[in-house]
Amino acid sequence: MVHVWKITHIQALTLLRFGRRQNSEFIKRVYQNRNVSVETQRTHCSVLNVRRNSTQVESSKHPVNTHLSLYDMDNKGEEGGGDTDSTVKTSCGKRKNEETDEAAGQCSGRKRKRGGGKQLRPGERYVPPPQKRNTGVSFNQEHFAETSYYFEGGLRKVHPYYFDFKSYCKGRWIGKTLLDVFKKEFRAESLDYYNAAVKEGRIKLNETPVDDLNVVLKNNDLLRNTVHRHEPPVCGQPLKLLVDDGEVVVVDKPSSLPVHPCGRYRHNTVIFILGKEKGLVGLHTVHRLDRLTSGVLLFARTLEVSKKLDVMVRERQLEKEYVCRVEGEFPEAEVVCEEPILVVSFRVGLCRVDPKGKESRTIFQRLSFNGRSSVVRCRPLTGRTHQIRVHLQFLGFPILNDPIYGSSAWGPNRAKGGLVGMSDEELLEALIEEHRSKESLHLLDLPDEEVSGKTKCKDGAQGRNEQITAIESSSGSSEVSLDEVKAESRQVVQQSTSESVGEINGARKDKDLASDDASRTGRSKDFVRDHLCGECKIVRPDPTEKELIMYLHALRYKGPDFEYSTQLPDWAKEDWIQD
């Protein structure tokens, strides 16, 4: 039998007066189950006839019980065959005057509970309810104005800036102190730093400055940590805009540049550069490229276009073509690799061939061989993480300068044929240890807290070079408030913006080319250094060009009715000479 409950919104609210917690389940059934009729009510429970215009409660026959639930009424109707014509009349407009004192008191108590949460015990800390969060990620001019770029030595650099890291209390943090959380999960800074940050009001809990790191975290706590942020430099090559037709944006991404904010990168990303320099915001990512991979990168202008392209990706209607330079002489005939790929570590992005991995298929074709290395065209038919790099390693021809899959940490044969000879944990540790010994851990894009405590050089300074030098903080800087420092930094950002605009194309002025050292010194004096910031006290050597480029390039992206491509990079040309 098809049944449909007929109930108005006001009636639903009135029902909640009879035991809010129990009746909430009933209301859910009313709105979710549409196959129950009003007549069937008599077979399931006593009639609850809520009359909108009724002004009296027949207390003599049916005294009002604010804890009576429809679940109880259901049981009575089924077990005892109760009176199906019994009614309860109540008022929807004058509850307070017409109910009993006891019922009115209980209702008003519930109102107080809803308005201010449960009553706090003496010494208990109040936690406000979480704010509604924006599910989409969209950056605007407020974010872009945090800092500005400058170009130096062929690199794009970001002026240090203040940034608020915000996070709601994670499940594993509940019941722990802030001190415990910082000690175990945020090891990029010392406990002395966090204690000093507390004294200066840089750490806030629910927008209130923390005065003691021993405060115990509760569910829905909002943690805000203000830091002085430094971003690593990237290649100074311009971000070329290939297409902008109102539906898609296509760029030629330089190597070393992440697609979107991640890890230590925020402004030195494709998303921020397009927003700051091209005025392109609200873009939808269609596919990703690794930070060290260059080439065609596609964005959708609208959600509709993004969904359309997503369907093409799932149905494999899009063709992707890459070129790379690998070690040794690659076979002339076409090679197809169909080995499954398994993710070993998400924090490093480490993968390997494994029978338990996901189905993967890549087609390779050699384009040229210069006697030492080969240029190979790659067509991935699936989209696994590091698919091209892992398959080339399996075939015994890793990419020439791949910092992960060309590493000797994989063993003497570097995992050719899938032979590793060690556990995943041992492999990961060996990879990290190799790059630590070479002072190149930055190539693995490890989080700061993962590097902290493990990358100290012989002289005790963290970083990738023992020649890191300390810079003394200006005298009296500890007396300057954070707001004053932020204001001064913003003023310098505005002053330096006009200088950076003239260098956006990656070409510096002639006088800068002749005086790199003077330029570096001048730039460092532009900003007030933060006396708590460890990065402000050291000068790191700039990365070399070899460290910022991997010989893997996205050459072409083709769909049913479009095709986007770039020129071959210099290292992929036949006359390229290897250093």
**Phi, then psi, of 380 in degrees rounded to 5:** -75, 125
Question: Using CA atoms, how far apart are residues 156 and 279, in angstroms rounded to an integer?
Answer: 18
Q: Is 347 exposed, middle or buried (0-12, 13-18, 19+ CB in 10 A)?
A: exposed
CA distances from 5 to 11, 111, 119, 364, 534 (A): 12, 28, 37, 63, 66
Active site includes 483?
A: no
Q: Is 282 left (phi over 0), alpha (psi -120 to 50) or beta?
A: left
Question: Using CA atoms, how far apart are residues 177 and 428, in angstroms rounded to an integer?
Answer: 31
Closest CA to 274 of 252, 289, 294: 252
Q: What are the beta bridge partners of residue 250?
A: 243, 298
Question: Using CA atoms, how far apart are residues 428 and 441, in angstroms rounded to an integer?
Answer: 12
- Strand pairing class (341-345; 284-285): unpaired
Other Cβ atoms less than 10 A from the Cβ of 12: the count is: 15
Burial 189-201 (b: 16+ CB within 10 A, else e): beeebbeebbeee
For the chain, counts of helices (H) and of strands (E): 18, 21
Please answer whether residues 321 and 375 qualify as being in contact, where contact means their C-beta atoms are separated by less than 8 angstroms.
Answer: no
In three-state secondary structure terms, 376 is strand
Q: Residue 344: enclosing H or E segment and its boundaries? A: strand 341-345
Q: Residue 377: enclosing H or E segment and its boundaries? A: strand 373-380
Q: Residue 554: enclosing H or E segment and its boundaries? A: strand 552-558
Question: Using CA atoms, how far apart are residues 576 and 534, in angstroms rounded to an integer?
Answer: 42
Please answer whether residues 492 and 160 qualify as being in contact, where contact means their C-beta atoms are separated by less than 8 angstroms.
Answer: no
Question: Using CA atoms, how far apart are residues 143 and 134, in angstroms rounded to an integer?
Answer: 15
Closest CA to 212 of 176, 174, 175, 179: 179
For helices 20-32 and 70-80, what crossing angle results, to 10°? 80
Question: Using CA atoms, how far apart are residues 23 and 65, in angstroms rounded to an integer?
Answer: 13
- Token pair recorded at residue 205: 């809990």
Output the CA angle 201-208-144, nearest 5 degrees.
70
* Active-site choice (221, 252, 290, 530): 290
Please answer whether residues 386 and 351 qualify as being in contact, where contact means their C-beta atoms are separated by less than 8 angstroms.
Answer: yes
- Determine the longest span between alpha carbons in the chain, in angstroms: 103
Question: Using CA atoms, how far apart are residues 512 and 499, in angstroms rounded to an integer?
Answer: 12
List residues with catalytic annotation: 290
